Structure 1
Amino acid sequence: MTATLMESGAVVERTDVRRPGMAAVLRSEWLKLTTVRSTWWTLAATFVLGAGLTVLLCWANADWLASPDADESPGSFVTWGMMIAQITAVVLGALVVTTEYGTGMIRTTFAAVPARGRVLAAKSLVVVALLFVVGTVTALVGYVGGNYFLDREGIGLALEGDVLRAMYGSGLYLAGIGLFTVAVGFLLRHTAGTISIVLALMLILGNMVNLVPGEFGEWLTKLMPGNAGSAISTPVSFNPNLLEPWTGFAVFGLETAVLLLLAWVMVRRRDA
């Protein structure tokens, strides 16, 4: 980076001003994320919704799941709350980006870090890391609490195989949602618009495309971001027609990567 100074009427070029490295940008974004109350309120909501609703649903349905009339697997319920917790992941991913655009502080960020792609990468990494850890811990707490009621009915699930995969899969899915939302946030630069569009894609349109007839409708349903990515976060899906867990998550990852690439292009080209 070159700085220009005026000394005694002469223009002096300085070339000793360093651009912040990736480690410095990561520290900066981590401080921004962890020093505002909205982050902690959002993470608390993630835990309460993810773990609390799982325990509540397992307690309420344990008797029915143990009966011969049950048409659902207990595995469908041990991470049930994570379906609702994804809302908070969307909120966090949006706020990390759009708050700075709303206040105008993004201009300061880009002035300090002229390599704008580095800012996008740093915000993405801190969101992914935080949501993966919180999502995995939340899923484990929900499993322990919910499985207690299933065990009392003799239908408890061991923490192995698909159940174990669903624990860290819940963390991966929340991290993926956060990353997806970061990309949309950089594209829209508006908090309400970002949250509304991502929630619509994840929760509403994913169900509405079931109404599209024929094989095209079936594949459209499978490829919607929320449907493709969510299978990894549950041992047994409520919808058996979705893609396999790792296949679906790979599709979701590809969709997220395309959005991130588009966001990177737009961030470099547009004014802040």
Structure 2
Amino acid sequence: MGVLAAERIKLTSVKSPWWCSGIVVVLGLGLAALFAATTRSTFESASNEGVTAPPMTAFEATIGVQQIGVMVLMVLAALVVTSEYRFGVIRNTFMASNNRTAVLLAKAGIAALWSAVLTTVLAAAAIVLARVIAGPEVGANLTFSNGDTFRVLYTVPIYAALAAILAVGVGALVRQTAGAVTILLLWPLLLENIASVLPKIGEHIAPFLPFLNASYFLAGDNGMSAGLPVDFFHWGPWAAIVYFGLVAGSIFGLSVLVVNKRDA
């Protein structure tokens, strides 16, 4: 409990977590407002032409939170580790607790909890904001009694928490902010997209790429994951997030072993 308290104080007493959290708030709500305004304009234009356009969904309203927001939170989670290595205070942390595994578990737990809580609140706020801007017709599905809307409120924080644990593991392995951030951003944005379109082997690799599985979990059986049909995967959405969690847990577990074996 002392280690947890120490990590909580560290997280809330420096500026970088607040800056990262502020960016997540601005992007999450800003993109929700933008998507709502755009969808409403498209809906009205289609109505004038006698065409029926689909109303806005909660998945669309929270795209800023679940995509860009979670990436920023992964950067925050990596900074929880790499910033201490950068300023050389990680030695003091390990000396004070005398248990490196407990330190990493505390860092991962605090980062995961903060990511889950923040994304839950922002997802709900983004849905409410999108409904207000979209109007009663376009935002008809943006109610918390709607099953798809309610699903967003627990899928996004689950993904955010697991992504934070993965980020802490990457940060502990790399120990440098620039390297950790590069890996965490290029992995879902570039590396997996390239691997999924490789000739002959891409279609066999793609179902096992962690972040594509996380996207499948977020979209569910009713949507598509990164442009891939749901029948492209070998399992359902819940198995997909379990797979992502196993990857995140494996990387974090490896980081615990490495940190315990090498010098601080």
Normalised to the residue count of structure 2, the TM-score between the two structures is: 0.86
Select the residue among 78, 81, 89 that pairs with 1:105.
89
**C-alpha contact (below 8 Å) 1:93/1:178 kept by paired residues:** yes
Number of residue pairs aligned between Structure 1 and Structure 2: 249
| Aligned ranges 1:115-134 → 2 under 5 Å | 115-134=99-118
1:92 aligns with 2:92: no
1:196 aligns with 2:182: yes
Q: Give me the whole-angstrom Cα distance separating, in 2, the residues matched to 1:71 and 1:144.
A: 18
Aligned residue for 2:247? 255
The letter for the 1-side match of 2:80 is V
**C-alpha contact (below 8 Å) 1:63/1:153 kept by paired residues:** no
Select the residue among 145, 158, 162 that pairs with 1:176.
162
Aligned residue for 1:139? 123
Q: Give the 3 Å change call, closer, same or farther, for CA 136–196 of structure 1 in structure 2.
A: same
Aligned residue for 2:207? 222
**C-alpha contact (below 8 Å) 2:192/2:206 kept by paired residues:** yes
1:211 aligns with 2:197: yes
1:63 aligns with 2:41: yes
Aligned residue for 1:24? 2
The letter for the 2-side match of 1:176 is L
Aligned residue for 1:9? none
For structure 1, which segment, 149-158 or 174-183, has the greater mean C-alpha deviation from structure 2 after superposition?
149-158
1:80 aligns with 2:89: no
For structure 1, which segment, 65-74 or 175-184, has the greater mean C-alpha deviation from structure 2 after superposition?
65-74
Structure possessing the higher radius of gyration over alpha carbons: 1
Q: Give me the whole-angstrom Cα distance separating, in 2, the residues matched to 1:203 and 1:70.
A: 30
**C-alpha contact (below 8 Å) 1:34/1:40 kept by paired residues:** yes
Aligned residue for 1:15? none
Q: Is there any run of 5+ residues in structure 2 with no aligned partner, and where?
A: none
**C-alpha contact (below 8 Å) 2:165/2:248 kept by paired residues:** yes
Q: Give the 3 Å change call, closer, same or farther, for CA 138–234 of structure 1 in structure 2.
A: farther
Alpha-carbon shift at residue 146 of structure 1 (Å): 1.2
**C-alpha contact (below 8 Å) 2:32/2:61 kept by paired residues:** yes
* CA root-mean-square deviation: 2.2
Normalised to the residue count of structure 1, the TM-score between the two structures is: 0.84
**C-alpha contact (below 8 Å) 1:202/1:224 kept by paired residues:** no
Q: Give the 3 Å change call, closer, same or farther, for CA 77–240 of structure 1 in structure 2.
A: same
Alpha-carbon shift at residue 189 of structure 1 (Å): 0.4
Alpha-carbon shift at residue 184 of structure 1 (Å): 0.4
1:185 aligns with 2:171: yes
Q: Give the 3 Å change call, closer, same or farther, for CA 212–111 of structure 1 in structure 2.
A: same
The letter for the 2-side match of 1:247 is A
Q: Give me the whole-angstrom Cα distance separating, in 1, the residues matched to 2:228 and 2:243.
A: 17
Aligned residue for 1:164? 150
Select the residue among 21, 35, 41 that pairs with 2:13.
35
1:241 aligns with 2:229: yes
Q: Give me the whole-angstrom Cα distance separating, in 1, the residues matched to 2:219 and 2:10.
A: 32
Q: Give me the whole-angstrom Cα distance separating, in 2, the residues matched to 1:76 and 1:144.
A: 13
**C-alpha contact (below 8 Å) 1:163/1:234 kept by paired residues:** no
Alpha-carbon shift at residue 51 of structure 1 (Å): 2.1
